[in-house]
Structure 1
């Protein structure tokens, strides 16, 4: 288990360092164009992914702190039980753990999660599903390094499940 925690630690350090830099650089600036289709924009998200529950009255912070804390404990217990062959699952869980801890730390310190990565495309018509329309184009909800690690970790778990399912199906035929 311990050999996988370096991934979580690396995600946590990169996430917190990038958020520290984002707050220092972006505070009071609004959107800053970083590259075509990529802005840096400081957002304090009181909700979850895609701003879910961000408009709630404040109870959601404690809820998400509890969820992230429970998830972290469960992931550590899962990592302890994994065998040497479960590298994809261990990597995925370690990425999710690092991301969950990064966002949990934000909630404990700031009462919200610091997001700053704004991916967009110039609007040539209607925005694609889940993109938010603005004057400058269609924007994906603002996110951070922790969110990216959680997403990549979840994708690795799905990939492992698909591969395992394919192996099991092949063994039956």
Structure 2
């Protein structure tokens, strides 16, 4: 009896909590890592191919955090950002298990942030830097080069902000 209750609880975590969007985290991670492997196999560092007048594939390395923050700090930042990514991923994963089914915006936000953090964590662990390749610009203005994991984090942050301004939904009632 106790074994079936444990199995039921495990299934509920992935069907009734924020982790019901686990498939999205896997999809983002796979897309992120496959595109980075493709860039590493097909581009020389710094190589760029124009796809649109405002968009290139440009192989760049980010040794820091967002916008290359601490990118030239000498190497210790790799371990700092690795630790932060692990801690944030664990904290958000625990939070996801506690979310209710109707909290879909918050669930999607956290899943995207976790997937992006893990995608960049994999890079830091394997290469010592994050592989970036999406380059948006207009004339002399250039946005820092980024990747799919960064997109997931940004979309997750936007959803988090949207959710924070949304009214709380009433609890689902068991009465009919």
Cα distance between partner residues in 2 of 1:96 and 1:22: 22
> Do 2:92 and 2:114's aligned partners in 1 also have CA atoms closer than 8 Å?
yes
> Which of 116, 124, 141 pairs up with 2:133?
116
State the Cα deviation string for residues 23-45 of structure 1 (Å, max 9, x = none). Answer: 12222562211112001111111
Cα distance between partner residues in 1 of 2:34 and 2:104: 27
Give 3-state SS (helix, strand or coil) of 1:39's partner: strand
Matching residue of 1:149: 152
- Structure with larger Rg: 2
> Do 2:62 and 2:131's aligned partners in 1 also have CA atoms closer than 8 Å?
yes
Cα distance between partner residues in 1 of 2:150 and 2:117: 8
> Do 2:45 and 2:60's aligned partners in 1 also have CA atoms closer than 8 Å?
no
TM-align CA RMSD = 1.4
Matching residue of 1:55: 72
Cα distance between partner residues in 2 of 1:69 and 1:27: 30
Cα distance between partner residues in 2 of 1:20 and 1:35: 22
Matching residue of 1:132: none
Shift of 1:12: 0.4
Matched, 1:25 2:28: no
TM-score using structure 2 length: 0.83
Shift of 1:13: 0.3
TM-score using structure 1 length: 0.84
Cα distance between partner residues in 1 of 2:159 and 2:166: 10
Spell out the pairing of 1:94-133 with structure 2 (5 A cutoff): 94-122=111-139
> Do 2:46 and 2:60's aligned partners in 1 also have CA atoms closer than 8 Å?
no
Structure 1 unaligned runs (5+)? 123-136, 168-173
Structure 2 unaligned runs (5+)? 1-12, 15-19, 170-176
Matching residue of 1:9: 26
State the Cα deviation string for residues 68-124 of structure 1 (Å, max 9, x = none). Answer: 0001100110000000110000001000011001000000000010000100001xx
Shift of 1:164: 2.7
